[in-house]
Amino acid sequence: MPDNRTVVVAAAIVDRGRVLAAQRSEPPALRGGWEFPGGKVEVGETELDALVRECEEELGVGVVVGDRIGPDLLSDDGRFTVRVFECTLHDGDKPTPLEHLQLRWLDADSVDDVDWLPANAQAVKLLPDVLKHHAVAPTHPGA
């Protein structure tokens, strides 16, 4: 049976053992929840292209997309298939909350300090190894 859910891509942007979390501003039902930046894959767009576009629109940054983290995840309402990718920032880029209430860098000890939206919370459980891998050296200055 084909999966007719809309695909949403999300960027687990990592740097120096930390991951970037973004607090939703809308819709009202999700306001205040935390997520990985990203959004819907548009018709004719690849998942990687969508992720790069969404990071530019939401954070004003360029990203380098790496490996997928974990399996397909299902949104709370069952309408979306969520795919999370490990990403790094282009050198010198600093994220700005253009569409979010705020941004926070979280390390392995603080990653559970925010109220993650359900699909994102599933992916957060897979982050410790990813964060350890990036703890050694910064991927860009000033993060």
pLDDT tens string 10-66? 999 998 889 999 999 998 988 999 999 999 999 999 999 999 999 999 999 999 999
Q: Distance between CA 32 and CA 137 in Å, rounded?
A: 31
From CA 6, how far away is CA 44, in angstroms rounded?
13
Task: Specify if 127 maps to a domain.
Answer: yes
Strands (E), 4-79: 6-15, 18-24, 34-35, 38-40, 63-74
Q: Is 142 part of any domain?
A: no
Looking at the 3D structure of the chain, how many domains does it have?
A: 1
Indicate whether 105 belongs to any domain: yes
DSSP 47-59: HHHHHHHHHHHHH
* Res. 1 pLDDT band, cuts 50 70 90: very low
**Section 83-93 average pLDDT:** 91
Decide if 138 is inside a domain.
no
Give the mean pLDDT of 98-102.
Answer: 96
Tell me what percent of the residues of the chain surpass a pLDDT of 70.
87
Q: The domain spanning residue 59 has which CATH number?
A: 3.90.79.10
Q: Confidence band (pLDDT; 50, 70, 90) for 76?
A: confident
Indicate if the pLDDT at residue 141 is higher than 50.
no
In terms of Cβ atoms closer than 10 Å to its own Cβ (0-12, 13-18, 19+), residue 126 is middle
The residue-averaged pLDDT of 61-83 equals: 91
Domain that holds residue 109: 6-133
**Which pLDDT score is estimated for 92?**
79
Residue 45 lies in a domain: yes
Position 143 confidence tier, pLDDT thresholds 50, 70, 90: very low
In a domain, 51, yes or no: yes
Going by C-alpha positions, the residue among 85, 82, 108, 103 that lies closest to residue 93 is 103
Judge whether 41 lies within some domain: yes
Structure tokens at 63: 């990203």
Q: Is 110 part of any domain? A: yes
Q: What is the mean pLDDT of the chain?
A: 88
